[in-house]
Structure 1
Amino acid sequence: MNRYTTRGAQALALLAVVSLTAGCGLPRPGPNKKEIFAGSVLQEGDAFIVTVNPRVTRATAVMPSFGFSDSFRKAGVMGSDTISNGDILSITVYENVRDDPLLGNTGQRVSQLTEVQVDGQGYVFIPYAGRIKAAGNTVEGLRSAISRKLDAQTPDPQVQVARVAGDGSTVTINGSVATPGVFPIEQPTRTLAAMLARAGGVAINPAKALVRVTRGNHTGKIWLKDLWANPQMDIALRPGDRIVIEEDERKFTALGAMGAQTVVPFETETLSAIEAIATVGGLQTAAADPTGVFVFRNEPAAIANAVLGRKDLQGDQRMVYVLDLTAPTGMFEARDFLVRDGDTVYVTEAPYVQWQKTLSVLTGSAGAAASLNSAAGGS
């Protein structure tokens, strides 16, 4: 047989072995492009595979919208000294007599009543003055009422009234805040932003902080940065409001030929596909296929219908969005396409990587065989 023919046959045999080996279970981070496209609805699969373009980007650019309803925003600021049921008051009475004061012991001109609570009907009880209506009154109004009641029994009494933290005109602040607790609504802290400052501010990255306010059966939520940027969202507080600072819990999963394969929390309110890739270290230069960037998502029917130009889909739909970073506008599309909570961002390996792995297996096997033959010949 001709030597060249023999070499050609060997080359063909090697090519066949390479092809066979490449089709076997060599290590890889996930499916290749061909396998992903084989799962398309058009191939009798269960996922819609869509190439990202400006229309698709607009149809899928749906992010959580937070804010406060009119019932929150139109509530007026409380009077700074208005007393409510459940408030705790501190009342101090100064008398102008030494020998026989009405409230204190002999020689004691100052009498202090601490932690006087406004009852459920809005009254407080003051010795020698009786029950006095406090709820709905101002601190100054209650002070005057107590002075009038005592004036008939002790000459020209001087009265001080202060409202302290209690169960009335107070709010609770919990979650990721520097100083959680119960805080009175006072003149400097009658709005949400001021009350948060009173509690020492948030204890997490402000860019990831959400502020939730519950008032009765109604709840509103807003990004902290939007609260700072929009004065209309700095709502007036009401007694009993419950404020919770939450950290954004949205995440996406990064898989494939990227710098890391992990679950990644959102660091900003919005996150584009190119930012998501950069967050985990970018594409692996020696392995990634920039034409095979995929975003896997369960899409609500309304958005899926808009993306596909249909009206018949119902329920969540499996969608696979395809980004080609080598296309003329590919980087722009990846910059504009938004990643959402629960997405999986996957980058396929370049085809030649599998060939390299195959050749490495074959050359390694051939080297091992040669070593065994050499050892056998020398024995």
Structure 2
Amino acid sequence: MTRAIALAAVTASLSACALPRSGPTKKEIFAGSEMKQGDAFVVSVNDRVNAVTAINQELGFSAAFQNAGVIGSDTIAPGDVLSLTIWENVDDGLLAGAGANATVLSEVQVDGAGFIFVPYAGRIKAAGNSPEAIRRLITEKLDAQTPDPQVMVTRAAGDGATVTITGKISGQGVYPIQRPTRRLTAMLAHAGGVAVEPDVAQVKVIRGSKTGIVWFQDLYDNPKYDIPLRDGDRILVEADPRSFTALGATGAQSVIPFETRNLSALEAIAQVGGLRTSSADPTGVFVFRNEPETIAKQVLGRDDIMGAQRLIYVLDLTQPNGLFLARDFLIRDGDTLYVTEAPFTQWQKTLSAVTGTANSANSLAAIGQ
């Protein structure tokens, strides 16, 4: 009688509560589909779905960055200090004292707006110009007031045009734009190169109110992205910020960063250690994603849906072409990769719970005798 009571108690407890598991079963996921009054569309992955959803994250610089001309290595910048020497072809000139025909202005600083002041020539735009261009501007201004003036301009102090490089770079710092480092790739090499895997490295250039981002590898694959640098550019090198979440019967359950630029479902499974051979159901590999309206319409073949949609993509690795489909299905930022447990695993848990609890009931019965 005692054993019967204990077994009855086991049966009641198992029916009253669910067995431990890592997430929903395949049946429960399908039960939440839109066709069964749920709020998500469950879609089996095939070649057409792969073609529609295969969106690569393309980065690149706008035309404003690409069309900027190369600046000279001796371009003057605000804060630079110039030295001016002006010769006049008269004994009593505008600037020179009596008995002298040359005037030296040794410390002329370029103000924050980029201008300098030269007596009788007025305000001269210096920033963005080379010393030679400044020399011509001053000469033109003085030529109307003194015969045949001769002007020499040199940079006395300051680095001229500079850029700031930070992030995943071997040598962070402020670097002058010199003749060999006028373009982005040369400047990155001058700073020691990127300190992250090149395949997942991104380079951001901030220029005033404009920002451009490019894959590091594209700087070499597409020379148009090797843009000329400008004074004040801020360059940030960072690793690919994208990630996906792995849950269920996988080798790891956590947020996983992308290790390749284009990550397939098969690579994502391998990246988390593969499927658990003791519990995973290879027919129940799911990818949860919020799809934008345009892609959702193409995937579902419908025009009556509005806004982003919750889509659950199903991969069956046991099908003849299942591994090929998983290889061609691209994972996107924010995806959730979920692998269900095999039905056998649930049965095994039930059996273990019954036999374990029955053994406990037998022990209790033995104590009561």
Q: CA deviation at 1:239?
A: 2.2
Asked whether the 8 Å contact 2:286–2:312 carries over to 1, the reply is yes
- TM-score, normalised to structure 1's length? 0.78
Q: What residue is the counterpart of 2:302 in the other structure?
A: 310
Matched, 1:45 2:38: yes
Aligned match of 2:242 in 242, 246, 250? 250
SS in 2 for 1:362: helix
User: Match for residue 240 of structure 1?
Assistant: 232
Does the C-alpha gap of structure 1 residues 125 and 20 become closer, same or farther in structure 2, counting only changes over 3 Å?
same
Pairing 1:370–2:348 present: no
Percent identity of the aligned residues? 56
- Pair 316,123 (structure 1): closer, same or farther in 2 beyond 3 Å: same
Decide whether the 8 Å contact of 2:84 with 2:151 is kept in 1: no
Say which SS state the counterpart of residue 278 (structure 2) adopts: coil
Is 1:32–2:25 an aligned residue pair? yes
Aligned twin of 2:66: 73
Letter of the structure 2 residue corresponding to residue 352 of structure 1? F
The 3-state SS of whatever aligns with 1:304 is helix
The structural deviation recorded for 1:21 is 3.4
1:68 CA displacement: 1.2
Of the three residues 275, 289, 302, the one matched with 2:281 is 289
Query: RMSD of the TM alignment (CA)?
Result: 3.5
Match of 2:158 in 1: 164
Say whether 1:209 aligns with 2:205.
no
1:64 CA drift (Å): 2.1
**Matching residue of 1:335:** 327
1:100-119 alignment runs, 5 A limit: 116-117=109-110
After TM superposition, the structure 1 stretch with the greater mean CA deviation from structure 2, 259-268 or 194-203, is 194-203
- Structure 2: which amino acid aligns with 1:165? D
**Whole-angstrom distance in 1 between the partners of 2:35 and 2:196:** 46
- Give ranges in structure 1 of 5+ residues lacking alignment: 1-9, 94-110, 150-155
Per-residue deviation, residues 176-234 of structure 1 (Å, max 9, x unmatched): 33333332222111111112222332233332221112223322210111113221110
**Are the counterparts in 1 of residues 107 and 156 from structure 2 also a CA contact under 8 Å?**
no
State whether residues 290 and 325 of structure 1, in contact with CA within 8 Å, keep that contact through their aligned partners in structure 2: yes
Deviation of the 1:351 alpha carbon: 0.1
Paired amino acid for 1:240 = G
Mapping for residues 92-107 of structure 1, pairs under 5 Å: none
Gap regions ≥5 residues in structure 2: 86-103, 143-149
Which of 292, 315, 319 aligns to 1:300? It is: 292
Q: Distance in 1 between matches of 2:277 and 2:127?
A: 70
Question: Match of 1:71, as an amino acid?
Answer: A
Aligned residue pairs total 339
Measure how far apart 1:65 and its partner are: 1.7
Task: Answer yes or no: is the 8 Å Cα contact 1:209–1:245 preserved in 2.
Answer: yes
Partner of 2:96: none
